[in-house]
Amino acid sequence: VLSMAAGVDHILSDPSLPASVPVLRLTDAGMGDQIAEYVALGALTHIRGMLDYLDQQRRQVWQSNENRRAQETTVGILGPGTLGRRAAERLMALRFHVLGWARQPRLESFEVHTGSGGFERVVEQSNILVCLLPLTDQTQRVLNANVFERMPPGGFLINCARGAHLVLDDLHGALDSGQLHGALLDVFPDEPLPVGHGLWAHPQVMVTPHIAARTMVDDACLQIAENLVNLAMGGKLTGQVERATGY
């Protein structure tokens, strides 16, 4: 089974899927650059206070606010895989300090932590927290009140993974208390986001309709075709999912 996306949770959750059938995901297919741009947009939006300025514009208020510098800002990437690595490279080019958290140790051009202790260290240092995790039983509701409370005050959340990673009520609480200053959200537990939902009008939240990264057809077809050739020739498949871990 070949997925037309990087995520495969929708495939693995199908009870009719035989355990013996390999599942392949797209490893990039043009999505890396898009994710990098989206994450950079969110990070720059936060440090330049653009949500505050948009709110001031609506209220016709002319007021200069203090900015945070990129080199003084730590961005934590949960899930520094193929897409997360591209996001980290773009952020480092903008002089952000980048940390990552992964399930297994990996060598990257930025600092990557593992394990529950490593997760806490990344969260506690992250002025901006980016979720690019695969959706598994272990990562559902991972963005919750406990995580937001551990972040430095005035933090910013970027979720462009899956809506089920985020506990919306906990996000509302963190925003209302000022523990989080804002959020850029591309995915939601229910999509489309229901009409009348409070996030639509929240002045410190940017909502986008699951567009952080679209599958580029030409790139996806080439990758799928290469896998089909490798399958026929007995070659190595790319993007094969470990069924035990869900990615």
Instruction: Say yes or no to pLDDT of 196 above 90.
Output: yes
**Catalytic: which of 103, 172, 197, 210?**
210
82-93 vs 31-47: helix crossing angle, rounded to 10: 40
Q: What is the mean pLDDT of residues 235-247?
A: 91
Q: What's residue 6's pLDDT?
A: 87
Over residues 46-103, the pLDDT tens digits come to 999 999 999 999 999 999 999 999 999 999 999 999 999 999 999 999 999 999 999 9
Alpha helix (H) residue ranges in 82-205: 82-93, 115-125, 145-150, 168-177
What are 100-140's pLDDT values in tens digits? Answer: 999 989 889 999 999 999 999 999 999 999 999 999 999 99
Average pLDDT score over residue span 25-31: 90
Of 7-16, 123-132, 173-182, which range is least confident? 7-16
Annotation marks residue 165 as catalytic: no
How far apart CA 21 and CA 13 sit, in angstroms, is 14
CA distance 180 to 158: 11
Q: Which of 162, 165, 181, 202 is catalytic?
A: 162
Report pLDDT for 244.
85
Annotated active-site residue 210? The verdict is yes
